[in-house]
Amino acid sequence: MLTRLTRLEVDGFRSLRDVVLCPRALEVVLDAEGTATRDLVALFELLRELAEGRLQQHLSRNRVSTRGSVRVELGVHFDQYGVELQCSADGIWRITREELHLLAGVSWCLTDPAKDAPREESMFPTYAARKPEPRAPGSSGDEEGEWLGFVVSETLWNVRQFLRGFRVQSAEDFTEAEGSFLFLEEPSPDLPANALWDRARSARAASSRFQVLLCTPSVTLADTFDREDVVRAETSEAVSCFQPLVPRRDD
C-alpha cells in the first residue's frame, strides 16, 4: 500500500491560513499566481526538517510567518500528526504542542502545552530514531504499555519516512525515482499540445507509484485531468484559498 497524505490542515504559515486539503493519489493545483505553490513547498520542507530534528537550523535560514503562531495537522494513512509553533518574545520559534491521533482510537501528547515547556526541536528523534521492532509479549510485564509505545513509535516513523520521501521536481524535467510524495511544478501557463500530453502522462504514471501533487498556472493542462482531481488556488491580500472545481465524491 502506498503511503499517502490523506489530510493537511495549516494555519498561519505564510499565505496558508485556515487551509484544509484532502489530496488524492493524483492532485492538480491550478495556481495562477504561484504563491500557494511556493508556500506549500516551503511548508513541507519545514516539516521534513522538523522531523529530522533540524527545526532551528532550518528556521535560521527561512522565513516562517508574519503571525505569532503556525498550526499544522498532517494526516498520513488517516493517522493524524499535529504540531504548533509559536514565536516567543526573544524571536525564537518553538514547539508548544505536538501530538498524535491514531485511527485505532489512541491519542498521545508528545508536547503538552499544559505541562511541558516549549521545545526548540520535535520529539521525532526521540520516539522515531529508527524503525521500531515489536517486543515479545510480556517481556516487561506491561503489555499494554509496550503496545502503545510501539504504535506511537511506528506511526511517527511512518510520518518521518513520508516526509523524507517528499521531493520537488520540474514537471518538464521529471524523472522516475524513489519517494513518497512527488511535488511537480509546471510554471508555464501556455504549453504546446505535445508538452500537455507529456506532463499529463508522466503525472498519471507516477501516481501509480507514489502520491503526486502537480501545481500549474495552466488551465489547459488542468483540463486534461478529471475535474474531481483539480483544486483551484487563489491568493488575495496575501491569503491563499483552495477550492475543488467540482464537489468530490467520497474516495
- Residues 167-175, mean pLDDT to the nearest whole number: 86
Nearest to residue 72, comparing CAs of 87, 55, 88, 84?
84
The stretch 133-162 carries a mean pLDDT of: 79
- Return the C-alpha torsion angle 160, 164, 165, 166, nearest 10: 100
Taking each helix axis from N to C end, the angle separating 35-51 and 143-164, rounded to the nearest 10 degrees, works out to 140
Q: What is the mean pLDDT of residues 20-46?
A: 96
122 and 98 in contact (C-beta within 8 Å)? yes
The C-alpha angle with vertex 17 and arms to 13 and 20, in degrees rounded to 5, equals 110
* 215-237 pLDDT, tens digit each: 999 999 999 999 999 999 999 99
Round the CA-based radius of gyration of the chain to a whole number and report it. Answer: 19
Rounded mean pLDDT, 77-82: 92
pLDDT, residue 81, reads 97
DSSP the chain: ----EEEEEEESBTTB-SEEE---SEEEEEESSSHHHHHHHHHHHHHHHHHTT-HHHHHTTS---SSSEEEEEEEETTEEEEEEEEE-TTS-EEEEEEEEE-TTS-EEEEE-TTTS--BSS-SHHHH-SS---PPPTTSSS-HHHHHHHHHHHHHHHHHHHHHHTEEEEESTT------SEEEEE---S---HHHHHHHHHHHHHHTTTSEEEEEES-HHHHTTS-GGGEEEEEEETTEEEEEESSPPPP-
Average pLDDT over residues 136-164: 81
Residue 67, pLDDT score: 64
Write down the mean pLDDT value for the chain: 90
Q: Determine what percent of the chain is predicted with pLDDT higher than 70.
A: 93
Read off the pLDDT of residues 2-13 as tens digits, 9 standing for 90 and up: 678 999 999 999
Specify the pTM: 0.91
Q: What is the pLDDT of residue 139?
A: 58
Question: What fold does the segment set 5-244 form as a domain?
Answer: Rossmann fold (3.40.50)
Residue 68, C-alpha cell as written in the block = 505569532
Please check whether residue 24 is in contact with residue 30, taking contact to mean a CB–CB distance below 8 angstroms. Answer: no
Q: From 205, 208, 247, 217, select the one nearest 229 (Cα to Cα).
A: 247
